[in-house]
Amino acid sequence: MLKILKVNGESLSPELKPGDYVVVSNRFWMPCAGDVIVFQHKRYGTMIKKLYHISRSGSDYFVIGAHRNSIDSRHFGMIEKAAVIGRVVWLIRGKT
Amino acid sequence: MIYEIVKKLDSVLKFETASAHCDIPCGIYDPITAQIAALTVIRMVDLAGELQKEHPTQDAPFHNSLARYVAVKEEYAEKCKHEIRIIWGDYFKPEHFEKYPELNGLVHEILQLASKSRQNIDRSSGLQLLKSVNRFAQIFWETKGVATKLAKAPYEPGEQIVYPAF
């Protein structure tokens, strides 16, 4: 499955900026720290963050943003693997 | 070109948004919270000094109040450092550091003075902290093209602080 989404927000700046597009895939993927992933959060909706840590069981992920004020696992805890839509495989950068 | 194509597709297909959610309304900075924190440090030192006079036997109420004043002094000295760090790290740009070469040294001095204010219960440490934070505030407003004025705060400890002269 491939999906295109538009980035909104600053928490992964300067790597990803508002207005950039990302192509996301969940095929042939062994998640590892450093992957930028898209997931569903019950309160914040569709979010994009960097995968920082995977639980031993592999079923929960700790995600963070690059910005000091990012809303991420430091606030809402680990996310379930089932909530993950996929990882970013292609970044289509907007005009700088 | 690829971006333009995707953008056109977005206008038609309305791609879903992935939120790289950030907490604060970025762009809102004001050194007043650091200045108030420095004033609070001085106020707590003053209150602790008054306590000595009111409770010469250093009874239980003395120790209770002193512990609370020290706890607040600790909290606000650290808050002062936090507020300064945020403005220094998130607001100031390279052109500001070029125009005000004292800025990095001033921030370091503030952080050290705030720590010193935590380590002792001495009014002069708090006054030095306030003086440096006031200079930081002055620079901040100057970078926004806003003139400043020095005025006595309308509450204890009644020390002078830098205000923007809007």
Instruction: Note whether A46 contacts B17, CB cutoff 8 Å.
Output: yes
Residue B35, pLDDT > 90, answer yes
pLDDT recorded at residue B56: 82
pLDDT recorded at residue B25: 42
Instruction: Note whether B19 contacts A48, CB cutoff 8 Å.
Output: yes
For residue B82, the chain A residues in CB contact (below 8 A) are none
From A13, which residue of chain B is nearest by alpha-carbon distance? B20
Which of A5, A68, A95 is closest, CB to CB, to B15? Answer: A5
Distance (Å, whole) CA B164 – CA B146: 6
Which of B2, B20, B23 is closest, CB to CB, to A7? Answer: B20
Of A34 and B21, more confident:
A34
Determine the residue among A5, A63, A91 to mutate to test chain B binding: the one whose Cβ has the most chain B Cβ atoms within 10 Å: A5
pLDDT recorded at residue A4: 93
- Mean pLDDT, chain B, rounded, equals 90
Tokens of B127: 């006054």
Secondary structure letter of residue B90 according to DSSP: I
Kindly provide the ipTM of the predicted complex, given to two decimals. 0.81
Instruction: Note whether B22 contacts A45, CB cutoff 8 Å.
Output: no
Tell the residue number behind the tokens 């108030």, with chain if given: B36
Question: Of A21-30, B101-110, B114-123, which gets the smallest average pLDDT?
Answer: A21-30
pLDDT recorded at residue B90: 78
Spatial CB neighbours of B101, under 8 Å, sequence gap ≥ 6: none
Per-residue pLDDT of chain A (96 residues; tens, 9 = 90+): 789 999 987 778 778 888 899 999 988 788 888 899 999 988 788 999 999 999 888 899 999 887 666 778 887 889 999 999 999 999 999 865
For residue B29, the chain A residues in CB contact (below 8 A) are none
pLDDT recorded at residue B19: 83
pLDDT recorded at residue B150: 95
Which of B18, B23, B24 is closest, CB to CB, to A5? Answer: B18
Instruction: Note whether A21 contacts B3, CB cutoff 8 Å.
Output: yes
Spatial CB neighbours of A81, under 8 Å, sequence gap ≥ 6: A31, A58, A59, A60, A61
According to DSSP, the residues that pair with A5 across neighbouring strands are: A22, B16
Closest C-alpha to A22, from A45, A43, A46: A46
Do residues B106 and B136 make contact, with C-beta atoms less than 8 angstroms apart? yes
pLDDT one-digit tens code per residue, B75-102: 999 999 989 998 898 788 888 999 999 9
Determine the residue among B6, B9, B17, B19 to mutate to test chain A binding: the one whose Cβ has the most chain A Cβ atoms within 10 Å: B19
